[in-house]
Chains A and B, each alone.
Chain A
Amino acid sequence: QSVLTQPPSVSAAPGQKVTISCSGSSSNIGNNYVSWYQQLPGTAPKLLIYENNKRPSGIPDRFSGSKSGTSATLGITGLQTGDEADYYCGTWDRSLNPGPVFGGGTKLTVL
């Protein structure tokens, strides 16, 4: 059971927009930055978004992040078949076992 809650799967057609939610609490998302990672099949995770809404160099602006209260959202516009992957949110959690935590992951299918 992950500390951060993500939908198990989302899907959309090529060219469309999709959003992936990440729900937490005041112990984690509510008081810390959120990051997002993309994991293509059989590969290592890749940082997509950090500090809620910043993109590392080389990440296209089709990817965006936002945070409100104890939830965060990853948005992807202009969907491509190459975007099919698992997406994870992450943040710091200061509850009983302080440390970085991740969501359970969301499988994106581009139909």
Chain B
Amino acid sequence: EVQLLESGGGLVQPGGSLRLSCAASGFTFSTCAMTWVRQAPGKGLEWVSAISGGGGATYYADSVKGRFTISRDNSKNTLYLQMNSLRAEDTAIYYCAKDPRGQLENFDYWGQGTLVTVSS
């Protein structure tokens, strides 16, 4: 059974940093592209970032480019999102999701999400 478990969310001040983790199990993690999608309170879904299975290719939404860094440790089956220079508009639930074909066309399994709140 595929499982994705996010952690690392919390309350952080504007300008601060946070690192999210997503522990994966139930599939061959190292061969799967992964992505982060966020959802602001009461709002819709927004794609944030993606990474190839080997980690050599990364992609970012313009809204986070230069501030967020996606990475992965295939030996630990874990995906990360390093978030720096956080802003109030980054407040959201952050979901990690599995990209079955690595084409950023659809995401077949999602974690339960971790809440990030940016506020003073």
Contact = CB atoms under 8 A, between A and B. Distances in A.
Among B59, B62, B110, the most chain A Cβ lie within 10 Å of the Cβ of B110
Nearest to B35: A100
Contacts of B11: none
Contacts of B37: 45
B62 A56 contact: no
A45 B95 contact: yes
Sort chain A's interface into a size bin.
20 to 34
A91 B61 CA distance: 14
Given A44-B110, A97-B62, A88 B105 contact: no
A15 B109 CA distance: 28
A46 B97 CA distance: 10
Sort chain B's interface into a size bin.
20 to 34
Contacts of A51: 105-106
Interface string A46-59: 11001100001000
B46 A102 contact: yes
Nearest to B112: A44
Interface string A88-111: 101110000101111111000000
A29 to B, nearest CB: 12
Nearest to B4: A44
A102 B62 contact: no
Contacts of A100: 35, 47, 50, 104-105
Given A44-B95, A97-B61, A102 B44 contact: yes
Given A44-B112, A44-B113, A104-B44, 18 more contacts: A32-B105, A33-B106, A35-B106, A43-B112, A44-B111, A45-B45, A45-B95, A45-B97, A47-B107, A47-B109, A51-B105, A88-B44, A92-B103, A100-B47, A100-B50, A102-B44, A102-B45, A102-B46
Interface of B: 35, 37, 44-47, 50, 59, 61-62, 95, 97, 103-113
